[in-house]
């Protein structure tokens, strides 16, 4: 049973033009955003971009891919607004927003890194996982190339380093991740 507080949070976090993606990038959270985008696309009264506010330390890359695909197929531009913390999978979602409509709070912490996971298994499983990891790495590069305008080497050098890389707001504007700082 939902409490009054939970109902109020839902009202605040979702209307036809604004959605607040807060917390982990995972299937339940992402599916709610997908439903919101779908609903906004069905509402002819909604004009201009729809606003996706993001505050997330990241999460599952496959769930990020699903959301990015829906954002890119949306009839209404999806503006992305980063605030608080934007890391990993959330970084890709922020960058994939409609160009000209990507913003970042000046005090937001921003981080990107290579794909990582704690997969395990026997030799055959690990061999298969190696191919899957290569595939994910290439997809991440492609999404970031399309979103930022950087070439493959620029994406790898700036975003997919062997260690976590933290950015200032000014750096992510310069690298084409967002268009402006608020």
Q: Which residues are catalytic?
A: 88, 113
Rounded-to-integer distance, Cα 100 and Cα 26, Å: 27
CA 73, distance to chain mean position in Å, is 15
Q: Which tokens in the block code for residue 145? A: 């190339």
Rounded-to-integer distance, Cα 71 and Cα 127, Å: 33
Rounded-to-integer distance, Cα 18 and Cα 39, Å: 12
Nearest to 168, CA basis, from 85, 107, 117, 99: 107
Are 160 and 168 in contact by the 8 Å Cβ rule? The answer is no
Q: To 10 degrees, what angle do helices 61-73 and 27-42 make?
A: 0
Rounded-to-integer distance, Cα 141 and Cα 65, Å: 12
Are 167 and 110 in contact by the 8 Å Cβ rule? The answer is yes
């Amino acid at each position: 049973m939902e409490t009054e507080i939970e109902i109020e949070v839902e009202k605040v976090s979702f209307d036809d033009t604004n959605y607040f993606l807060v917390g982990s990038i995972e299937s339940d959270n992402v599916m709610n955003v997908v439903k919101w985008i779908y609903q906004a696309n069905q509402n002819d009264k909604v004009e201009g971009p729809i606003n996706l506010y993001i505050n997330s330390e990241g999460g599952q890359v496959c769930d990020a891919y699903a959301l990015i695909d829906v954002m890119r197929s949306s009839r209404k531009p999806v503006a992305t607004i980063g605030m608080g913390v934007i890391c990993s999978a959330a970084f890709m979602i922020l960058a994939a927003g409609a160009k000209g409509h990507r913003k970042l709070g000046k005090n937001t912490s921003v981080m990107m890194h290579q794909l990582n996971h704690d997969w395990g298994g026997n030799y055959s499983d690990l061999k298969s996982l190696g191919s899957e990891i290569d595939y994910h790495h290439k997809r991440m590069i492609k999404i970031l190339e399309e979103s930022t305008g950087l070439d493959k080497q620029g994406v790898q050098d700036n975003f997919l380093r062997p260690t976590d890389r933290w950015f200032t707001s000014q750096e992510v504007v310069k690298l084409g991740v967002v268009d402006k700082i608020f």
